[in-house]
């Protein structure tokens, strides 16, 4: 009788040795330091978001009449609903923080330079998708702040010259917030963005696998020891340990500081203070500092500059003696971002 393994091999003709070869990518020693392996953290948190998001979607009902009640049901009644909602909410916060820290690591170590320019741009698309997922997720609860946050966000989008009004209409499913708005935001949040992100993460990691990660040499490194270690099982263990720590952290945060529910949205009464989530504080403060169109256009310009930064940096390095000008640019950018975020957090209006 044919063995089950032989039976399976006949139907799925994959060579075990080839698979082992694929998973044995040599990884440079510096990836043992967690800040160099930060890319694995958003990848792990993305999976947590998909699993908890599917569980929440079993109960969530995306319409202005039902959304708030369904979130209340998840929080107060559904078995472990409060826990999965809180893990989803904290997972979003940690994922955004991890993406930003990973991007900073890549930026300050110059790991976006030739030949990794395209992967930096794919990373930028992932950053935009992650922020959009945060924005649309916040809108779904139909609390006062999520309703007014969406309205303000749509109006900001609407002030972009030429395409603004079209963008606002696409986002709201009409001229203003209406019966269809929440189902539209829900589809963007739960179907379009996750699908896009899966595709982008696959290409991002495939490119890392093809190019290998950037090699760094450290002064304190023992030159007599091998400079690489195998991906499987060594690096996988590192990633799994980080995953375990994250799961404990997420559970602790969800239990100690569970997601709350503010008052139900009232389209007729504008709250005194409208604030977005913390990750939009920087752009919110920027928009308050400058007049509408200039603020929106300059935000677009900054985002575009970040997108093509590897090419700008390459040009600076070819044309001038300031080979590490990017570090100075990065430090100024980080200080401005922190300054504007703290400013927005500290003031009421
Ligand atoms: C969901 C978001 C993201 C995921 C899951 C992700 C995942 C990863 C992983 C697993 C690595 C391998 C090395 C490491 O762990 O650092 C990596 C490297 C890299 N990432 Fe990301 N990343 C994301 C977002 C970004 C962003 C926002 C950028 C920049 C705009 C970026 C640019 C890069 C580059 C250039 C590398 C190569 C680094 C090197 O060669 O040392 N990634 N990413």
- The domain that holds 237 is classified in CATH as 1.20.810.10
For residue 306, being part of any structural domain is answered with no
Separation in Å, CA 207 to CA 33, 93, 211, 338: 21, 27, 6, 31
Question: pLDDT-derived band of residue 32, with 50, 70 and 90 as boundaries?
Answer: confident
The rounded Cα 254 to chain-centroid distance in angstroms is 19
Its sign, for the CA torsion 236, 242, 245, 247, is: negative
Ligand 1 mutation pick, 113, 208, 333, max ligand atoms within 8 A of CB: 208
Taking CA atoms only, the protein residue closest to ligand 1 atom 34 is 120
Domain that includes residue 252, residue range: 29-213+230-273
Identify which of 204, 45, 27, 37 has the alpha carbon closest to the alpha carbon of residue 105.
37
For residue 143, being part of any structural domain is answered with yes
Taking CA atoms only, the protein residue closest to ligand 1 atom 42 is 123
Taking CA atoms only, the protein residue closest to ligand 1 atom 25 is 123
For residue 68, being part of any structural domain is answered with yes
| % of the chain residues with pLDDT over 70 | 100
For residue 301, being part of any structural domain is answered with no
Centre of ligand 1 from the C-alpha of residue 30, in Å: 15
Centre of ligand 1 from the C-alpha of residue 123, in Å: 6
The pLDDT of 219-236, averaged and rounded, is: 85
For residue 174, being part of any structural domain is answered with yes
Centre of ligand 1 from the C-alpha of residue 194, in Å: 17
Centre of ligand 1 from the C-alpha of residue 122, in Å: 9
pLDDT tens, 247-276? Answer: 999 999 999 999 999 999 999 999 988 899
The pLDDT of 300-310, averaged and rounded, is: 97
For residue 178, being part of any structural domain is answered with yes
**What is the distance between the alpha carbons of residues 233 and 226, in angstroms, rounded to a whole number?**
17
Question: pLDDT at position 26, please?
Answer: 87
Taking CA atoms only, the protein residue closest to ligand 1 atom 28 is 123
Total domains present in the chain: 1
For residue 145, being part of any structural domain is answered with yes
For residue 269, being part of any structural domain is answered with yes
Pocket of ligand 1, beta carbon within 6 A: 36-40, 42-43, 46, 99, 102-103, 106, 111-112, 116, 119-120, 123-124, 126-127, 130, 201, 204-205, 208, 213-214
């Amino acid at each position: 009788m044919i063995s089950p393994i032989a039976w399976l091999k006949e139907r799925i003709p994959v060579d075990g040795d080839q698979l082992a070869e694929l998973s044995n990518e040599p990884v440079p020693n510096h990836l043992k330091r967690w800040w160099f392996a930060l890319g694995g953290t958003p990848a792990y948190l993305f999976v947590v978001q998909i699993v908890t998001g599917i569980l929440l979607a079993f109960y969530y009902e995306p319409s202005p009449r039902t959304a708030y009640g369904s979130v209340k049901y998840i929080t107060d009644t559904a078995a472990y609903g409060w826990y999965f909602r809180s893990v989803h909410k904290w997972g979003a916060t940690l994922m955004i923080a991890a993406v930003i820290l990973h991007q900073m690591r890549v930026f300050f170590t110059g790991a976006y330079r030739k030949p990794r320019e395209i992967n930096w741009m794919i990373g930028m698309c992932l950053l935009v998708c992650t922020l959009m997922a945060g924005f649309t997720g916040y809108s779904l609860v139909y609390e006062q702040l999520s309703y007014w946050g969406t309205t303000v966000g749509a109006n900001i989008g609407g002030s972009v010259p030429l395409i603004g009004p079209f963008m606002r209409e696409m986002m709201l499913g009409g001229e203003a917030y209406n019966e269809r708005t929440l189902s539209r935001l829900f589809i963007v949040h739960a179907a379009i963005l996750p699908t896009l992100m899966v595709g982008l993460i696959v290409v991002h990691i495939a490119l890392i696998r093809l190019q290998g990660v950037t090699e760094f040499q450290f002064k304190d490194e023992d030159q007599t020891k091998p400079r690489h270690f195998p991906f499987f099982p060594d690096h996988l263990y590192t990633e799994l340990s980080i995953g375990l720590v994250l799961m404990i952290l997420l559970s602790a945060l969800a239990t100690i500081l569970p997601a709350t529910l503010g008052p139900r949205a009232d389209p007729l009464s504008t709250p005194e203070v409208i604030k977005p989530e913390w990750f939009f504080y920087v752009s919110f403060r920027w928009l308050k500092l400058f007049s509408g169109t200039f603020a929106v256009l300059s935000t677009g310009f900054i985002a575009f500059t970040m997108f093509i930064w590897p090419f700008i940096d390459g040009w600076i390095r070819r044309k001038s003696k300031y080979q590490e000008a990017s570090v100075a640019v990065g430090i100024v950018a980080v200080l401005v971002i922190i300054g504007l975020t703290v400013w927005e957090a500290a003031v009421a209006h």
